[in-house]
Amino acid sequence: MPIDNYFSGMNPNLLQTPIDYLKGVGPNRADLLKKELGIFTYQDLLNLFPNRYLDRTKYYKIAELQRNNADVQVIGKITHIKMVEQKRGKRLVATYRDETGVMELVWFRGHKWIKENLKLNVPYVAFGKANHFNNGFSIPHPELELLKEHQQKLRSALQPIYPSTEKLSNSGITNRVVSGLMEQLFKETQSKFAETLSPTLIKSLKLVSKSKAIFNIHFPENGDLLARATYRLKFEELFYIQLQLLLKNLIHKSKIKGYPFNAIGDYFNTFYNEHLPFNLTGAQKRVLKEIRSDLGSNAQMNRLLQGDVGSGKTIVAFLSMLMALDNGFQACLMAPTEILSVQHYTDISEMCKKLDISVSLLTGSSKTSERRVIHKALEDGSLQLLIGTHALLEDKVKFKNLGLAIIDEQHRFGVAQRSKLWHKNEYPPHVLVMTATPIPRTLAMSVYGDLDISVIDELPPGRKDIKTVHRFDSNRLKVFKFIRDEIELGRQIYIVYPLIQESEALDYKDLMDGYESVAREFPQPKYQISIVHGQMKPADKEYEMQRFIKGETQIMVATTVIEVGVNVPNASVMVIESAERFGLSQLHQLRGRVGRGAEQSYCILMTSFKLSADAKTRIETMTRTSDGFEIAEVDLKLRGPGDIMGTQQSGVLNLRIADLLKDGEILKIARSYAFQVLKEDPALQQEKNKPLKDTYAQMAKYKNIWNYIS
């Protein structure tokens, strides 16, 4: 997100000037800058922050050069130029001298233009990588500048290296050209920019001014000022992101009214006191309190519930539904797959029997006659709970008074889909979104920063850690023996194969080959095997799932359709084939399908010998820890924030200078300060917060702000 600055004392729109008008750009360069780097305005160029910096304080003598292939800067004179034939084409070679020795400057392309512009016996500064060859040194394609011009330039000890692309380099827009354009931009703006943070923030955090920060990020006076400028700009970028998200949350709570659930009545109390199947953990009780507090206010609840696999989110969801029922409202739960919605329905309808609550299941497979009954019962209010898939979003599905909507694995639904649920009523229902994919804290604060977040961070007591081991394909016979032993003990086994949509045919072949080899090792009638994959009809899939759930089959061979929500307490072994082809969060989700009962469970990661560095890290992480949040942090480092959130939201994390992986601490500070500012002055009306209000308005005006829905 670009942080907008505008020049004090000039037209505040100056930085929105099209880049075409900057001296030295012109139409061709402008076109390339737009296409390659997304630079359309002066503002965009100003926000092109360097990737790294080179120390240009030292000038080497030719006699001092070392064989370490480092960047060097040498003052000398060109005394001779020649073209040298080589196997492919020619190279241009210039003899370069100083008072201590001789070296060569070499060019492999652009000979004509370079040769015409080189001047003999005039002092130059040559910069580039020094190569050692045949007892001498050379610099291929050096940056070359007349010493006289070099001394006159606006330059710093640390030279910025800007992001670039091959197309820009090949078109002559080198780092030196970009630095020149930046210099021109600073001349036109006189290096003065309006302050975008309040005096309180600057004083409290001991930040350098905006103008000083922007100048020193592009032309650092020294290392200390560069570090302070970097911190200031990172803080500012993250602060405005958090300010927007928190403002959005405040506006949501003040404008979107929710039904106040004032009563905790018979449904909740009877179930909690008489039918709760196990004692709630401290984390579950804390989360229920947070939900209860939201539901009791006049604002619509908009809460994200994070909980690792098996942490007990479903019971929290059910108790929340009972709060809605106690206040005379209906509730619904929407899941992304039919298998998961059936699982929820099975669990919840079992609990509803004890309380005489009406509950139905609505999925794509529901028959027309069933649908008619459900639609009628929903509209007249006799159906209290509805569980299902995307089928809940159909226009025909109308509630009498929907008070609470729960969405499981909510990242699988698009924004438009989720908003359909909100419009099933005159007033939007309270919303609880759940995920079993632990989200790293920094990511949660950014991507879901406008939601209130609850975390169930402890597993129910008595749960044993799942033992996770890594085995190569060559150990398959030993793995089969282990499976046999577990089946003898009365346990059930999952064997999962990867499913990557681009190669469905190949994946199907892998699955069927695997199924045949398992069937040979575990022949009928002694062993029974279920098989489940994405190309099966829902009814066939459900039939096979039920056989496994009932214990009629000992082994389930499947693709990742069983990743979420299948609960078979008797299944104690999860074998993941080609584990190197799975992402970390997927491996963690699959592992969570076992360990549901009281017996010791195991997860066996099968791989080939050839593993990439990332695959090795993923396998090592899985065998070392079962902490979902630690796994999520490693996943974030491996994949980056964009990949983790999926294509839908990857653009959201297009930061200019901050880095969610490295700047977690700055993010926390920025969020706490944004929270404090809005707590004291929600409308940013106080005089001291005028810079914040002005900057925020400027950002909104030029759409340099995140507008997305969590």
Q: What is the DSSP string of 378-440?
A: HHHT---EEEESGGGGSTT---SSEEEEEEESGGGS-HHHHHHHHTTSSSPPEEEEEESS---
Please return the burial class of 358, using the count of CB atoms within 10 Å of its CB with bins 0-12, 13-18 and 19+.
Answer: middle
Assess whether pLDDT exceeds 90 at residue 203. yes
Pair of tokens at residue 150: 């070099």
- List the helix and strand counts (H, then E) for the chain: 25, 22
Taking only the tens place, the pLDDT of each residue in 391-409 is: 888 888 899 999 999 998 7
Please return the burial class of 134, using the count of CB atoms within 10 Å of its CB with bins 0-12, 13-18 and 19+.
Answer: exposed
Classify residue 693: in a domain, yes or no.
no
Per-residue pLDDT averaged across 300-318, rounded?
86
For residue 665, the tally of other CB atoms under 10 A from its CB is 9
**Shared-domain flag, residues 11 and 113:** no
Per-residue exposure over 613-628, b if at least 16 CB sit within 10 Å of its own CB, e if not: eebebbbebbeeebeb
342 confidence band (pLDDT: 50, 70, 90): confident
Taking only the tens place, the pLDDT of each residue in 608-626 is: 888 898 999 999 999 998 8
pLDDT of residue 408: 87
Could you tell me the CATH number of the domain that includes residue 364? Answer: 3.40.50.300
354 confidence band (pLDDT: 50, 70, 90): confident
Classify residue 25: in a domain, yes or no.
yes
**How many Cα atoms are found within 13 Å in the side-chain-facing hemisphere of 666?**
21
Using an 8 Å Cβ cutoff, are 668 and 449 in contact?
no
Taking only the tens place, the pLDDT of each residue in 100-131 is: 999 999 988 878 888 888 999 999 999 888 88
**Shared-domain flag, residues 416 and 471:** no
**Shared-domain flag, residues 45 and 105:** no
Taking only the tens place, the pLDDT of each residue in 469-524 is: 999 989 999 999 999 999 999 999 999 988 654 455 566 667 788 888 899 999 98
What is the chain's mean pLDDT, rounded?
84
Assess whether pLDDT exceeds 50 at residue 65. yes
**Nearest partner of 491 among 482, 504, 500, judged by Cα:** 482
Using an 8 Å Cβ cutoff, are 577 and 606 in contact?
yes
3-state helix, strand, coil in the chain (%, to 5): 45, 20, 35
Using an 8 Å Cβ cutoff, are 67 and 30 in contact?
no
- Which of 422, 456, 490 is at the close of a domain? 456
Classify residue 686: in a domain, yes or no.
no
Could you tell me the CATH number of the domain that includes residue 76? Answer: 2.40.50.140
Per-residue pLDDT averaged across 680-708, rounded?
77
Q: Is the pTM of this model over 0.85?
A: no
Classify residue 666: in a domain, yes or no.
no
DSSP β-ladder status, 467-472 and 430-435: unpaired
DSSP β-ladder status, 571-576 and 492-496: parallel
**Nearest partner of 103 among 137, 66, 131, judged by Cα:** 137
**Shared-domain flag, residues 168 and 116:** no
pLDDT of residue 632: 82
460 confidence band (pLDDT: 50, 70, 90): confident
**Shared-domain flag, residues 292 and 176:** no
CA 692/CA 684 separation, integer angstroms: 7
What is the domain extent for residue 574?
467-625
Distances (CA, A) of 302 to 277, 290, 291, 433, 707: 28, 11, 10, 8, 17
**How many Cα atoms are found within 13 Å in the side-chain-facing hemisphere of 321?**
28
**Nearest partner of 441 among 668, 643, 669, judged by Cα:** 668
**Shared-domain flag, residues 15 and 77:** no
Counting every residue written for the chain, the total comes to 710
**Nearest partner of 240 among 33, 463, 2, judged by Cα:** 2
Assess whether pLDDT exceeds 50 at residue 705. no
Using an 8 Å Cβ cutoff, are 569 and 596 in contact?
yes
Assess whether pLDDT exceeds 90 at residue 247. no
Cα–Cα–Cα angle for 43, 6, 238, rounded to 5 degrees: 70
Per-residue pLDDT averaged across 206-225, rounded?
91
Classify residue 636: in a domain, yes or no.
no
Assess whether pLDDT exceeds 50 at residue 708. no
Classify residue 234: in a domain, yes or no.
no
**Shared-domain flag, residues 91 and 119:** yes
CA 268/CA 150 separation, integer angstroms: 78
Per-residue pLDDT averaged across 382-396, rounded?
91
Assess whether pLDDT exceeds 60 at residue 138. yes
CA 303/CA 291 separation, integer angstroms: 8
Pair of tokens at residue 524: 């009928």
**Nearest partner of 130 among 96, 100, 160, 105, judged by Cα:** 105
Classify residue 248: in a domain, yes or no.
no
**Shared-domain flag, residues 510 and 410:** no
Split into its structural domains, the chain has a count of 4
**Shared-domain flag, residues 168 and 63:** no
**Order of strands across the sheet with 602-607?**
467-472, 602-607, 571-576, 492-496, 555-558, 529-532
**Shared-domain flag, residues 277 and 307:** yes
> What's 132-155 look like in SS3?
EECCEEEEECCEEEEHHHHHHCCC
CA 394/CA 578 separation, integer angstroms: 38
Could you tell me the CATH number of the domain that includes residue 7? Answer: 1.10.150
Question: Inter-axis angle of helices 584-591 and 613-624, to 10 degrees?
Answer: 30
- Which of 100, 124, 154 is at the close of a domain? 154
702 confidence band (pLDDT: 50, 70, 90): low
**How many Cα atoms are found within 13 Å in the side-chain-facing hemisphere of 117?**
9
The pLDDT > 70 percentage for the chain reads 88
For residue 376, the tally of other CB atoms under 10 A from its CB is 11
SS3 106: strand
**Shared-domain flag, residues 597 and 515:** yes
CA 394/CA 399 separation, integer angstroms: 12
285 confidence band (pLDDT: 50, 70, 90): very high
pLDDT of residue 231: 96
Classify residue 632: in a domain, yes or no.
no
Q: Which residue has the higher pLDDT, 554 or 171?
A: 554
- Which of 194, 213, 242 is at the close of a domain? 194
31 confidence band (pLDDT: 50, 70, 90): very high
Using an 8 Å Cβ cutoff, are 91 and 107 in contact?
yes
Q: Checking phi first, is residue 650 left (phi over 0); if not, alpha (psi -120 to 50) or beta?
A: alpha
**Shared-domain flag, residues 508 and 607:** yes
